[in-house]
Amino acid sequence: MKKCFAMMLLLGAVCFGHLQAQEEQPVEKKGFDPSKLFFGGNFGLSFGDYTLVNVSPQVGYHFNKYFAAGAGVNFIYSSFKTRYFPSNTEAYRDNFGNTGVNVFARVYPIQFLLLQMQPELNYNWGKRKLADGTNLKLPGKFVPSVLAGAGGVLPAGRGAMIAMLQYDLVQDPRSPYGSKVFFTIGYNF
């Protein structure tokens, strides 16, 4: 009986010690964690014969160290003057506006490298003002884009600087991104 009692006491101590050790382990937080949110996007200005205003904020969420996703809105205005040759005095000016929404997914295969896919739908409109003062209106149209890109991530303060090469896979003639690879630099907070 004493051996049985001693065995039960020993078994209880082992179980209690095991349960107590489990309670001391850090518990992984489940559900939404606001510290994993990030804010960023594109902001650009250029003035002169070619004018560009780009305000495209985004918000995203790091699901883990390899994957992040989010959404944003776009506003891009561009205006450029084209001069006729040979006189270079006659010109026409094109004005285009784009506004829309986007979603994006990022994969970080290694710590400082990212791959991104970003489908967008922009509403595009514009007009051309000819040298004689005539205005030609470009009717509004929804224009899809799918931006594919790769870039580097450089931690900076409480955020990160991101430099990427991107390309529009859809290649709609009225895409605000053109038909070539383009370079972007941004900051995520």
Position 29 scores a pLDDT of: 66
d(CA 116, CA 40): 14
**What are the pLDDT digits (tens) for 32-63?**
999 999 999 888 888 887 888 999 999 999 99
The model's pTM: 0.75
pLDDT at site 86:
57
Q: Residue length, the chain?
A: 189
Nearest alpha carbon to residue 92 among 61, 132, 58:
132
Q: How confident is the model at residue 90 (pLDDT cuts 50, 70, 90)?
A: low
pLDDT digits (tens, 9 = 90+) for 122-158: 999 999 887 777 888 989 999 999 999 999 999 988 8
CATH numbers and ranges of domains, the chain: 29-188 (2.40.160)
158 Cβ neighbours under 8 A, 6+ residues apart? 189
The answer to whether the CB of 177 falls within 8 A of the CB of 168 is yes
Closest CA to 100 of 123, 84, 116, 78: 123
Q: Are strands 67-83 and 37-46 parallel, antiparallel or unpaired?
A: unpaired
Task: Determine the Cα–Cα distance for residues 32 and 105; give it in Å rounded to an integer.
Answer: 18
